[in-house]
Amino acid sequence: MDYFPQLVAERPDIALCRASTAVARAAEQAAAANGVAVGSQLVLKMLAAVGPCSQQVLSQGLRVDRSMMVGIVDELEAAGWARRERDPADRRAYAVTITPSGRKVMTKSERTVPAFLDETFTALSAGERSQLTKLLGKLLLSE
Amino acid sequence: MDYFPQLVAERPDIALCRASTAVARAAEQAAAANGVAVGSQLVLKMLAAVGPCSQQVLSQGLRVDRSMMVGIVDELEAAGWARRERDPADRRAYAVTITPSGRKVMTKSERTVPAFLDETFTALSAGERSQLTKLLGKLLLSE
DNA sequence: TATTGTTATACTCTATAACTATA
DNA sequence: TATAGTTATAGAGTATAACAATA
Protein backbone atom coordinates (compact mmCIF):
# COMPACT_ATOMS: atom_id res chain seq x y z
CA MET A 1 0.00 0.00 0.00
CA ASP A 2 2.84 2.35 0.90
CA TYR A 3 4.58 4.37 -1.76
CA PHE A 4 8.28 3.97 -2.20
CA PRO A 5 8.88 7.49 -0.85
CA GLN A 6 11.84 8.52 -3.01
CA LEU A 7 9.64 8.07 -6.07
CA VAL A 8 7.61 11.18 -5.37
CA ALA A 9 10.34 13.17 -3.65
CA GLU A 10 13.02 12.78 -6.31
CA ARG A 11 11.07 12.33 -9.54
CA PRO A 12 8.51 15.06 -10.26
CA ASP A 13 8.07 13.48 -13.70
CA ILE A 14 6.88 10.21 -12.19
CA ALA A 15 4.73 12.02 -9.63
CA LEU A 16 3.13 13.91 -12.49
CA CYS A 17 2.25 10.69 -14.30
CA ARG A 18 0.84 9.02 -11.20
CA ALA A 19 -1.26 12.04 -10.31
CA SER A 20 -2.45 12.30 -13.89
CA THR A 21 -3.85 8.78 -14.08
CA ALA A 22 -5.73 9.20 -10.81
CA VAL A 23 -7.13 12.58 -11.80
CA ALA A 24 -8.02 11.48 -15.34
CA ARG A 25 -10.01 8.57 -13.97
CA ALA A 26 -11.91 10.90 -11.65
CA ALA A 27 -12.58 13.35 -14.49
CA GLU A 28 -13.95 10.60 -16.74
CA GLN A 29 -16.25 9.41 -13.98
CA ALA A 30 -17.49 12.90 -13.22
CA ALA A 31 -18.15 13.60 -16.89
CA ALA A 32 -19.90 10.27 -17.36
CA ALA A 33 -22.29 11.21 -14.56
CA ASN A 34 -23.47 13.97 -16.91
CA GLY A 35 -23.74 11.55 -19.82
CA VAL A 36 -20.78 13.17 -21.57
CA ALA A 37 -17.23 11.98 -22.21
CA VAL A 38 -14.42 14.35 -21.24
CA GLY A 39 -13.33 14.76 -24.87
CA SER A 40 -16.86 15.66 -25.98
CA GLN A 41 -17.24 18.11 -23.13
CA LEU A 42 -14.07 19.94 -24.11
CA VAL A 43 -15.08 20.13 -27.76
CA LEU A 44 -18.46 21.57 -26.77
CA LYS A 45 -16.71 24.07 -24.49
CA MET A 46 -14.42 25.18 -27.28
CA LEU A 47 -17.22 25.38 -29.85
CA ALA A 48 -19.28 27.50 -27.48
CA ALA A 49 -16.33 29.80 -26.84
CA VAL A 50 -14.91 30.29 -30.33
CA GLY A 51 -17.86 29.48 -32.60
CA PRO A 52 -18.01 27.02 -35.49
CA CYS A 53 -14.66 25.66 -36.54
CA SER A 54 -13.06 22.80 -38.41
CA GLN A 55 -12.09 19.49 -36.85
CA GLN A 56 -8.51 20.42 -37.58
CA VAL A 57 -8.74 23.58 -35.46
CA LEU A 58 -10.51 21.65 -32.71
CA SER A 59 -7.87 18.93 -32.63
CA GLN A 60 -5.03 21.43 -32.50
CA GLY A 61 -6.66 23.56 -29.80
CA LEU A 62 -7.39 20.57 -27.62
CA ARG A 63 -4.22 18.56 -28.42
CA VAL A 64 -6.15 15.58 -29.73
CA ASP A 65 -5.14 13.84 -32.94
CA ARG A 66 -7.44 14.70 -35.85
CA SER A 67 -8.08 11.00 -36.45
CA MET A 68 -9.56 10.79 -32.95
CA MET A 69 -11.53 14.00 -33.41
CA VAL A 70 -13.54 12.17 -36.09
CA GLY A 71 -15.03 9.83 -33.50
CA ILE A 72 -15.69 12.59 -30.98
CA VAL A 73 -17.60 14.68 -33.53
CA ASP A 74 -19.43 11.52 -34.63
CA GLU A 75 -20.67 11.10 -31.06
CA LEU A 76 -21.61 14.76 -30.70
CA GLU A 77 -23.58 14.57 -33.95
CA ALA A 78 -25.31 11.32 -32.96
CA ALA A 79 -26.36 12.92 -29.66
CA GLY A 80 -27.64 16.00 -31.50
CA TRP A 81 -25.17 18.27 -29.71
CA ALA A 82 -23.29 19.43 -32.81
CA ARG A 83 -23.71 19.44 -36.58
CA ARG A 84 -21.18 19.09 -39.40
CA GLU A 85 -21.92 21.97 -41.72
CA ARG A 86 -19.89 22.73 -44.82
CA ASP A 87 -17.46 25.60 -44.71
CA PRO A 88 -18.36 27.54 -47.89
CA ALA A 89 -14.88 29.05 -47.96
CA ASP A 90 -13.12 25.66 -47.93
CA ARG A 91 -15.16 22.68 -48.99
CA ARG A 92 -12.59 20.23 -47.65
CA ALA A 93 -13.35 21.31 -44.10
CA TYR A 94 -16.45 21.12 -41.97
CA ALA A 95 -17.69 23.98 -39.86
CA VAL A 96 -18.57 22.00 -36.74
CA THR A 97 -21.38 23.87 -35.04
CA ILE A 98 -22.80 23.48 -31.56
CA THR A 99 -26.59 23.05 -31.36
CA PRO A 100 -28.88 24.59 -28.72
CA SER A 101 -29.18 21.18 -27.07
CA GLY A 102 -25.40 20.86 -27.14
CA ARG A 103 -25.10 24.23 -25.47
CA LYS A 104 -27.53 23.10 -22.79
CA VAL A 105 -25.59 19.92 -22.03
CA MET A 106 -22.33 21.87 -21.99
CA THR A 107 -23.65 24.46 -19.53
CA LYS A 108 -25.08 21.76 -17.30
CA SER A 109 -21.88 19.74 -17.18
CA GLU A 110 -19.72 22.84 -16.77
CA ARG A 111 -21.66 23.60 -13.60
CA THR A 112 -20.47 20.33 -12.05
CA VAL A 113 -16.79 21.03 -12.75
CA PRO A 114 -16.05 23.18 -9.65
CA ALA A 115 -17.44 20.53 -7.32
CA PHE A 116 -15.48 17.85 -9.12
CA LEU A 117 -12.27 19.89 -8.81
CA ASP A 118 -12.95 20.54 -5.13
CA GLU A 119 -13.29 16.85 -4.51
CA THR A 120 -10.36 15.74 -6.66
CA PHE A 121 -7.95 18.37 -5.36
CA THR A 122 -9.27 18.30 -1.82
CA ALA A 123 -5.76 17.72 -0.48
CA LEU A 124 -4.77 21.16 -1.73
CA SER A 125 -5.94 24.50 -0.41
CA ALA A 126 -7.39 27.05 -2.83
CA GLY A 127 -4.05 28.85 -2.92
CA GLU A 128 -2.12 25.65 -3.58
CA ARG A 129 -4.55 24.69 -6.31
CA SER A 130 -4.07 27.95 -8.18
CA GLN A 131 -0.31 27.59 -7.65
CA LEU A 132 -0.50 24.16 -9.27
CA THR A 133 -2.58 25.50 -12.16
CA LYS A 134 -0.07 28.29 -12.73
CA LEU A 135 2.90 25.92 -12.67
CA LEU A 136 1.27 23.48 -15.07
CA GLY A 137 0.36 26.34 -17.39
CA LYS A 138 3.96 27.47 -17.51
CA LEU A 139 5.10 23.93 -18.19
CA LEU A 140 2.59 23.37 -20.99
CA LEU A 141 3.17 26.63 -22.78
CA SER A 142 6.89 25.89 -22.95
CA GLU A 143 6.32 22.69 -24.91
CA MET B 1 -0.79 25.05 -32.91
CA ASP B 2 -2.30 27.33 -30.30
CA TYR B 3 -3.85 25.92 -27.20
CA PHE B 4 -7.45 26.67 -26.46
CA PRO B 5 -6.47 28.84 -23.47
CA GLN B 6 -9.37 28.14 -21.15
CA LEU B 7 -8.36 24.50 -21.16
CA VAL B 8 -5.30 25.08 -19.03
CA ALA B 9 -6.64 28.00 -17.03
CA GLU B 10 -9.89 26.41 -15.89
CA ARG B 11 -9.11 22.72 -15.83
CA PRO B 12 -6.08 21.75 -13.74
CA ASP B 13 -7.09 18.13 -14.25
CA ILE B 14 -6.72 18.41 -18.03
CA ALA B 15 -3.51 20.41 -17.70
CA LEU B 16 -2.16 17.64 -15.48
CA CYS B 17 -2.91 15.00 -18.12
CA ARG B 18 -1.38 17.01 -20.97
CA ALA B 19 1.74 17.76 -18.97
CA SER B 20 1.99 14.13 -17.95
CA THR B 21 2.03 12.73 -21.48
CA ALA B 22 4.70 15.21 -22.58
CA VAL B 23 6.86 14.54 -19.53
CA ALA B 24 6.40 10.77 -19.70
CA ARG B 25 7.58 10.74 -23.29
CA ALA B 26 10.66 12.73 -22.35
CA ALA B 27 11.39 10.42 -19.41
CA GLU B 28 11.14 7.32 -21.59
CA GLN B 29 13.52 8.83 -24.14
CA ALA B 30 16.00 9.88 -21.47
CA ALA B 31 15.91 6.43 -19.88
CA ALA B 32 16.24 4.69 -23.24
CA ALA B 33 19.43 6.65 -23.87
CA ASN B 34 20.87 4.69 -20.93
CA GLY B 35 19.53 1.42 -22.30
CA VAL B 36 16.95 1.12 -19.52
CA ALA B 37 13.18 1.50 -19.50
CA VAL B 38 11.67 3.82 -16.89
CA GLY B 39 9.92 0.96 -15.12
CA SER B 40 13.13 -1.06 -14.88
CA GLN B 41 15.03 1.94 -13.63
CA LEU B 42 12.54 2.50 -10.83
CA VAL B 43 12.60 -1.15 -9.80
CA LEU B 44 16.39 -1.07 -9.65
CA LYS B 45 16.25 2.12 -7.60
CA MET B 46 13.84 0.57 -5.14
CA LEU B 47 15.80 -2.68 -4.92
CA ALA B 48 18.99 -0.73 -4.23
CA ALA B 49 17.27 1.32 -1.54
CA VAL B 50 15.29 -1.29 0.36
CA GLY B 51 17.09 -4.54 -0.48
CA PRO B 52 15.65 -7.79 -1.87
CA CYS B 53 11.89 -7.90 -1.90
CA SER B 54 8.99 -9.68 -3.52
CA GLN B 55 7.38 -8.61 -6.80
CA GLN B 56 4.27 -7.84 -4.79
CA VAL B 57 6.09 -5.32 -2.62
CA LEU B 58 7.73 -3.81 -5.69
CA SER B 59 4.44 -3.41 -7.52
CA GLN B 60 2.75 -1.82 -4.51
CA GLY B 61 5.63 0.54 -3.82
CA LEU B 62 5.84 1.67 -7.43
CA ARG B 63 2.09 1.56 -8.20
CA VAL B 64 2.46 -0.92 -11.02
CA ASP B 65 0.14 -3.89 -11.35
CA ARG B 66 1.77 -7.15 -10.27
CA SER B 67 0.94 -8.67 -13.68
CA MET B 68 3.10 -6.00 -15.32
CA MET B 69 5.86 -6.43 -12.74
CA VAL B 70 6.38 -9.94 -14.13
CA GLY B 71 7.59 -8.54 -17.45
CA ILE B 72 9.77 -5.89 -15.85
CA VAL B 73 11.56 -8.42 -13.65
CA ASP B 74 11.85 -10.72 -16.69
CA GLU B 75 13.74 -7.97 -18.49
CA LEU B 76 15.93 -7.19 -15.50
CA GLU B 77 16.82 -10.85 -15.19
CA ALA B 78 17.51 -11.21 -18.92
CA ALA B 79 19.85 -8.21 -18.73
CA GLY B 80 21.58 -9.67 -15.69
CA TRP B 81 20.60 -6.73 -13.51
CA ALA B 82 18.50 -8.69 -11.01
CA ARG B 83 17.94 -12.29 -9.93
CA ARG B 84 14.82 -14.08 -8.74
CA GLU B 85 15.88 -15.83 -5.57
CA ARG B 86 13.50 -17.82 -3.41
CA ASP B 87 12.33 -16.31 -0.17
CA PRO B 88 13.04 -19.13 2.33
CA ALA B 89 10.36 -17.74 4.66
CA ASP B 90 7.61 -17.85 2.00
CA ARG B 91 8.20 -20.13 -0.93
CA ARG B 92 5.38 -18.55 -2.93
CA ALA B 93 7.30 -15.31 -3.21
CA TYR B 94 10.57 -14.42 -4.84
CA ALA B 95 13.21 -12.27 -3.22
CA VAL B 96 14.13 -10.15 -6.22
CA THR B 97 17.73 -9.15 -5.77
CA ILE B 98 19.78 -6.54 -7.56
CA THR B 99 23.11 -7.72 -9.01
CA PRO B 100 26.37 -5.76 -8.98
CA SER B 101 25.90 -5.05 -12.69
CA GLY B 102 22.34 -3.89 -11.99
CA ARG B 103 23.64 -1.55 -9.33
CA LYS B 104 26.14 -0.17 -11.78
CA VAL B 105 23.49 0.52 -14.45
CA MET B 106 21.22 2.08 -11.83
CA THR B 107 23.91 4.41 -10.55
CA LYS B 108 24.87 5.40 -14.07
CA SER B 109 21.31 6.18 -15.14
CA GLU B 110 20.52 7.95 -11.85
CA ARG B 111 23.32 10.32 -12.62
CA THR B 112 21.53 11.47 -15.77
CA VAL B 113 18.26 12.22 -13.97
CA PRO B 114 19.11 15.76 -12.76
CA ALA B 115 20.06 16.88 -16.28
CA PHE B 116 16.90 15.32 -17.67
CA LEU B 117 14.78 17.10 -15.05
CA ASP B 118 16.55 20.39 -15.74
CA GLU B 119 15.75 20.08 -19.41
CA THR B 120 12.18 18.86 -19.04
CA PHE B 121 11.23 21.40 -16.39
CA THR B 122 13.30 24.19 -17.86
CA ALA B 123 10.25 26.47 -17.91
CA LEU B 124 10.19 26.37 -14.10
CA SER B 125 12.73 27.89 -11.74
CA ALA B 126 14.29 25.73 -9.05
CA GLY B 127 11.84 27.14 -6.54
CA GLU B 128 8.86 26.50 -8.75
CA ARG B 129 10.04 22.98 -9.43
CA SER B 130 10.21 22.13 -5.76
CA GLN B 131 6.83 23.79 -5.28
CA LEU B 132 5.42 21.52 -7.98
CA THR B 133 7.01 18.47 -6.40
CA LYS B 134 5.55 19.37 -3.03
CA LEU B 135 2.07 19.92 -4.46
CA LEU B 136 2.10 16.65 -6.39
CA GLY B 137 3.29 14.84 -3.30
CA LYS B 138 0.38 16.17 -1.29
CA LEU B 139 -2.01 15.18 -4.05
CA LEU B 140 -0.65 11.66 -4.36
CA LEU B 141 -0.50 10.88 -0.68
CA SER B 142 -4.18 11.81 -0.34
CA GLU B 143 -5.21 9.14 -2.82
C1' DT C 1 1.79 19.72 -54.20
C1' DA C 2 -0.52 20.37 -49.65
C1' DT C 3 -4.52 19.98 -46.60
C1' DT C 4 -9.19 18.07 -44.50
C1' DG C 5 -11.51 14.42 -43.13
C1' DT C 6 -11.54 9.49 -42.91
C1' DT C 7 -10.22 4.68 -42.24
C1' DA C 8 -7.17 0.97 -40.96
C1' DT C 9 -3.39 -0.87 -38.50
C1' DA C 10 -0.33 -1.52 -34.86
C1' DC C 11 1.49 -0.83 -30.49
C1' DT C 12 1.34 0.34 -25.69
C1' DC C 13 -1.14 0.49 -21.18
C1' DT C 14 -4.41 -0.99 -18.28
C1' DA C 15 -7.90 -4.05 -16.20
C1' DT C 16 -9.50 -8.45 -15.30
C1' DA C 17 -9.82 -13.03 -14.55
C1' DA C 18 -8.10 -17.45 -14.29
C1' DC C 19 -4.55 -20.81 -13.04
C1' DT C 20 -0.45 -23.04 -9.93
C1' DA C 21 1.89 -23.45 -5.95
C1' DT C 22 2.22 -22.41 -1.67
C1' DA C 23 0.53 -20.57 2.95
C1' DT D 1 -9.37 -19.65 2.35
C1' DA D 2 -6.07 -16.44 0.93
C1' DT D 3 -1.73 -14.90 -1.29
C1' DA D 4 2.49 -14.75 -4.93
C1' DG D 5 3.53 -15.20 -9.34
C1' DT D 6 2.06 -16.07 -14.00
C1' DT D 7 -0.60 -16.02 -18.25
C1' DA D 8 -4.20 -14.64 -21.40
C1' DT D 9 -7.57 -11.59 -23.04
C1' DA D 10 -10.00 -7.45 -23.89
C1' DG D 11 -10.37 -2.41 -23.81
C1' DA D 12 -8.59 2.37 -24.12
C1' DG D 13 -5.25 5.60 -26.04
C1' DT D 14 -1.86 6.83 -29.26
C1' DA D 15 0.89 6.91 -33.57
C1' DT D 16 1.14 6.11 -38.28
C1' DA D 17 0.16 5.74 -42.87
C1' DA D 18 -2.78 5.65 -46.60
C1' DC D 19 -6.76 7.36 -49.28
C1' DA D 20 -10.53 10.67 -51.59
C1' DA D 21 -11.95 15.22 -52.15
C1' DT D 22 -10.53 19.71 -52.45
C1' DA D 23 -7.23 23.68 -52.33
3-state SS record for chain A: CCCCHHHHHHCHHHHHHHHHHHHHHHHHHHHHCCCCCHHHHHHHHHHHHHCCECHHHHHHHHCCCHHHHHHHHHHHHHCCCEEEEECCCCCCCEEEEECHHHHHHHHHHHHCHHHHHHHHCCCCCHHHHHHHHHHHHHHHHCC
- Using the structure, give the distance in angstroms from the CA atom of A29 to the C1' atom of D3, rounded to a whole number: 31
Query: DSSP assignment of B78-128, as one string?
Result: HTTSEEEEE-TT-TTSEEEEE-HHHHHHHHHHHHTHHHHHHHHTTTS-HHH
Mean pLDDT of B4-17: 92
pLDDT band per the 50, 70, 90 thresholds, residue A142? confident
pLDDT of residue A1: 57
Q: Measure Cα distances from B90 to A2, A29, B69 in Å.
A: 21, 40, 19
pLDDT at A141 over 80: yes
Euclidean distance between CA atoms A141 and A61, whole angstroms: 12
pLDDT of residue B1: 56
What pLDDT, in 10s, does the model give residues B115-141? Answer: 999 999 999 999 999 999 999 999 998
Interchain CB contact of B114 with A (< 8 Å): no
What pLDDT, in 10s, does the model give residues A43-85? Answer: 999 999 999 999 999 999 999 999 999 999 999 999 999 999 9
| Nucleotide C8: closest residue by CA–C1' | A67
pLDDT at A35 over 80: yes
pLDDT band per the 50, 70, 90 thresholds, residue B3? confident
Q: Smallest CA–CA separation between A85 and chain B, in Å?
A: 22
Euclidean distance between CA atoms B25 and B13, whole angstroms: 19
pLDDT of residue A65: 92
Query: To the nearest whole number, what is the mean pLDDT of chain B?
Result: 93
Query: To the nearest whole number, what is the mean pLDDT of chain A?
Result: 93
Within 10 A of A99 (CB to CB), how many other CB atoms are there? 17
Q: What is the pTM of this model?
A: 0.91
Report how far Cα A90 is from the mean position of its chain's Cα atoms.
27
Euclidean distance between CA atoms A43 and A72, whole angstroms: 8
79-138 on A, CB < 7 Å from strand C: 84, 90, 92-94, 96
- Indicate yes or no: strand C within 7 A of the C-beta of A55: yes
CA of B137: which chain A residue's CA is closest?
A8
pLDDT band per the 50, 70, 90 thresholds, residue B94? very high
